[in-house]
Amino acid sequence: MERQPEVEVYLRGCPAERVLAWVRETVGPLAGPFDCGAATAHHPTAGAVVLTPGIEGGPFLGVWFNTPAGPWATDVECARAAAAALGCVARCDPSREHPELPPGADVWLEVSGGVERLVAWEPDAEPGAAADRRGM
């Protein structure tokens, strides 16, 4: 699969400090933090990693990797790795691995406890309680 130029995941149930420790383990040392309004940017050797709390007014922490140093080719690979390493709920855009979904569909891949499912974005719903769009 072709590598995405940037990768983004949304994490629930994991403190930002723990996420940053995982990012450092994965992409190496980070410079920063640099204040970006509601977000905080950190810079690895090349590119940037931006953490944004309160995505959609809910409990998710957005983690955007704009760096070639990341080991994941896609959002889905990163979500799987984050959920496994951090023991949290990870959501991402599933479209690269689910080309049957129309562009812009309000469907997200949720990874939690080794289970993957396509869900509608409901930031306040309990993990696994979001409305399934398609069983996996």
Give the pLDDT confidence of 87-115 residue by residue, as tens digits: 999 999 997 788 888 877 889 999 999 99
Taking alpha carbons only, the member of 80, 85, 87, 84 closest to residue 110 is 80
Residue at token pair 């896609």: 74
Instruction: Identify the domain containing residue 20 by its residue range.
Output: 7-134
Number of structural domains (the chain) is 1
For residues 80 and 89, is the Cβ–Cβ distance under 8 A?
no
Instruction: Compute the average pLDDT of residues 50-74.
Output: 84
pLDDT reported for residue 115? 96
Q: Specify if 1 maps to a domain.
A: no
Within a domain: 79: yes
In a domain, 2, yes or no: no
Share of the chain above pLDDT 90, in %: 37
